[in-house]
Amino acid sequence: MAEDRRTRRTRRALSAALVELVLERGFSTLTVEDITERADVGRATFYSHFRDKEDLFARVTGNLLDELAERLRPAMADSPVGFTGKPVLEMLRHARDERDVYRIVLRGEGDGKPLQMFMDTLAHATAEEFRDRAERNAVEPRIDPGLLARIWVGEQIAVLRWWAEQEAPPMPVEDVVRMLLDLGLHGRYWASGFDAST
């Protein structure tokens, strides 16, 4: 039990060091020595947990996705029919709580691999949710769920990055979600100020 706690503490220290250093210097210039020095952990200890700095970054991204999935689960259960905005609200709140990790992932640090992992995981889960929701409600999607999920996730990632990069929130999360809900319900044409008859 003590060893498990020690392992978790070591991994947390290394993860925090990675995030801090990437924000300060960027990922490409970092070395394992930089990370272990910041975390106050020996190199041998680092290599007992991770193959290299890329492996550590993948773990940081995986942990972020696991936390997000956990937080989204109740919000998804509350929206059996359509877009309520609750999952997006929870995602923005998560981005607010884990701002620094979101920033380094969404900026494409690490040759874009963590960002790709983030996008692929969200797109896969979203496509499954779209398919399940269509089946539960006996409707036929007008756009392929896989493509629709990629479009949706791309929009959310753009909003998340914009949100995470702000020093102070540009507007309340509830306002962002309300606008996205309107966009989802009425479309881009309506959102641009045009009427359907125009």
Domain assignment present for 144: yes
Q: How many helices (H) and strands (E) does the chain have?
A: 9, 0
**Which tens digit of pLDDT belongs to each residue from 52-81?**
999 999 999 999 999 999 999 887 776 656
For 19, the domain range is 1-50
pTM greater than 0.85 (yes/no): yes
> Dihedral through CA 175, CA 198, CA 185, CA 181, nearest 10?
-10
**Which tens digit of pLDDT belongs to each residue from 72-129?**
988 777 665 667 788 889 999 999 899 999 999 999 999 999 999 999 999 999 999 8
With beta carbons less than 8 A apart as the criterion, state whether 120 and 158 touch: no
* CA dist., res. 87 & res. 173, Å (int): 12
Domain assignment present for 197: no
* Number of structural domains found in the chain: 2
